[in-house]
Amino acid sequence: MNSMNKIIEDIKSKYNVLNIEQPTKQQVSFDFESRDIHAILAYLKSIGWNQLTFLTCVDFIDDKEFQLVFILMNWETGITIQVRTRLDREKPLFKTIVPIFPGAKFYERDVHEFFGVEFEGNEDSKKGLFLELWDDIPPMRKDFDPQKYSDKKYAKRDYNVDFKKEGEER
């Protein structure tokens, strides 16, 4: 049994895994209920996955859910693990993982700002990070309409676009 199979079997024996995907020999993704995420992240950190490489969100608008995706790296093995969970899109609330991975503080701010996910226990997640004076729904949500926002926010301008054909002189 190789090290990836050992990891998969170890996780399956300890936690309620909803789904497993292994896109490459060095990557594996696990889906869990949201209530299990903190325990699995703490466990993975304790056995060598001590770098939170990324935290992001995916909008599954038709399912009325968001998916949080935590990407962890083990530098000794080179194996990357994705830990994923789904949240209710109407009230996206999740307890912060900052006590486990302090660097998550800024990732949580980013996810809050662009998707509207509230991270309970991370008051910094409500501070603006990139979108100063933003006054609309979070812009990475699939129901955000950038054209409507631009029409509302900015004056209409006509653009006179004059293209030159290849080989044509002006």
> Which domains are seen in the chain, by residue range?
3-153 (3.30.460.80)
pLDDT range class, residue 165, cuts 50, 70, 90: confident
54-59 contacts, C-beta under 8 A, 24 or more apart:
54/107, 55/97, 55/104, 55/107, 55/108, 55/110, 55/111, 56/107, 56/110, 56/111, 57/111, 57/114, 57/115, 57/117, 57/140, 59/89, 59/115, 59/140, 59/141, 59/142
Write down the pLDDT at residue 88: 98
Which DSSP category does 33 fall into?
-
Write down the pLDDT at residue 13: 97
Write down the pLDDT at residue 3: 86
Residue 69 scores a pLDDT above 80? yes
Mean per-residue pLDDT of the chain: 93
pLDDT range class, residue 23, cuts 50, 70, 90: very high
Residue 2 scores a pLDDT above 70? no
Give percent above pLDDT 90 in the chain. 78
Residue 114 scores a pLDDT above 70? yes
Average pLDDT over residues 93-111: 97
Residue 129 scores a pLDDT above 90? no
Residue 87 scores a pLDDT above 80? yes
Q: What is the pTM of this model?
A: 0.88
* Selected residue with higher pLDDT from 163 and 134: 134
Average pLDDT over residues 76-92: 97
pLDDT range class, residue 170, cuts 50, 70, 90: low
